[in-house]
Amino acid sequence: MNTRKLITLDEFTIQETRQFPQATGELSALLRDIGLACKMINKQVLKAGLVDILGKHGATNVQGEEQMKLDVYANETLIAVLKNSNDCAGIASEENDDHVCFDDEYSANSKYIVLFDPLDGSSNIDVNAPIGTIFSIYRRVSPIGTPCTKEDFLQPGNKLMAAGYVIYGSSTMMVYATKLSVNGFTLEPSIGEFCLSHPNLRCPEKGKIYSINQGNSCKYDAGLKTYLEYCMENNKADGRPYSHRYIGSMVADMHRTLIKGGIFMYPADSSSPKGKLRLQYECNPMAFLMEAAGGIASHGAGNILDIVPTELHQRSPIFIGSKSMVEKALEITNATATVA
């Protein structure tokens, strides 16, 4: 008989709240709401191969990307659950041009707003590679009781209250960070609950994996090319080069980096001067989580969390993961970068 008590996400968030006497429990409720939406998304992801949920939805999103039906379902589910939760004043999503204010009285009195990428890596859906939901939670800066404003969604990552992701992989896991710690919860399908499985996650100080779309190398500057050559040299502590792993799904590449250590990069290049990944619902939540786990995240010339956003869907270069590996990458790339 396994006597180890299962701690569900609900129980964990309530226990964490008890550490702050002035806490109202709204942040805990919001995390539970996100967990509920992702359990609903998970159900559809698991059967994606069985029903006609694959294939193109026909529409295209603000990024100009053709929307898969699962993308649309995930987006609509998160919006519906958060709108009905009364714990959220509004949302911004990779799939929506502008932010969405929830216009009922309860939502207007909420103190949090949420940004999300509802189904990151969706191009991997029909090859059964891991995909995920990424979320950021901020305290609103607009007055409580009024509709949320664009400024609520343009806060720097260093103002985040919580952030994390759900990975729909060989198991479904939610990993989220507050300023206190990073914790991982695995979905137990038999009871339909996320259960604490990875308490107090830390990113290893060192790793042996570098993760980048090396197919873009021809577009990198000299500094980055020099660093990639360094990764492939036999001069690492164990006398071997780093291993290269790249799934092409940020949540999957980041989850591996968090658990095993390593460095994940999506740098700027000659065709994407700001990189590809979105600051507010891909780079910032991952940077906040990785820093809370002891790793670091840079845009190449400073901390990602310090960027003051000017546009909702702006992009940022990202170098993120094990502290010593990111520092080494920045040392080499900045030392040998071509002058712009």
| Distance in Å, CB of 245 to ligand P6P, minimum | 12
Is 276 a binder of ligand P6P (CB under 6 A)?
A: yes
| Distance in Å, CB of 12 to ligand P6P, minimum | 27
Torsion of CA 197, 200, 201, 204, to 10 degrees: -140
Please give the Cα distance from 57 to 153 (Å, whole number): 27
Q: Which of 181, 186, 213, 336 binds ligand P6P (CB under 6 A)?
A: 213
Is 224 a binder of ligand P6P (CB under 6 A)?
A: no
Is 276 or 313 the residue whose CB approaches ligand P6P more closely? Answer: 276
Is 313 a binder of ligand P6P (CB under 6 A)?
A: no
Which residues ranging from 179 to 198 are in contact with ligand P6P (CB under 6 A)?
A: none
Which residues does 58 contact at the CB level (< 8 Å), separation at least 6?
66, 67
Please give the Cα distance from 142 to 148 (Å, whole number): 6
Is 120 or 291 the residue whose CB approaches ligand P6P more closely? Answer: 120
Residue 82 one-letter amino acid: L
Between the CA of residue 281 and those of 6, 8, 160, 171, 182, what are the distances in Å? 31, 26, 11, 23, 18
Which residues does 107 contact at the CB level (< 8 Å), separation at least 6?
83, 86, 88, 89, 90, 101
| Distance in Å, CB of 254 to ligand P6P, minimum | 8
| Distance in Å, CB of 106 to ligand P6P, minimum | 33
User: Per-residue x/- marks for ligand P6P, 232-271, CB under 6 A?
Assistant: ----------------xxx--x------------------
Q: Which of 95, 120, 221, 291 binds ligand P6P (CB under 6 A)?
A: 120
- List, in sequence order, every beta strand (DSSP E) within 70-151: 90-93, 100-101, 112-120, 131-139
Task: Return residues touching ligand P6P (CB under 6 A).
Answer: 120-121, 123, 213, 248-250, 253, 276
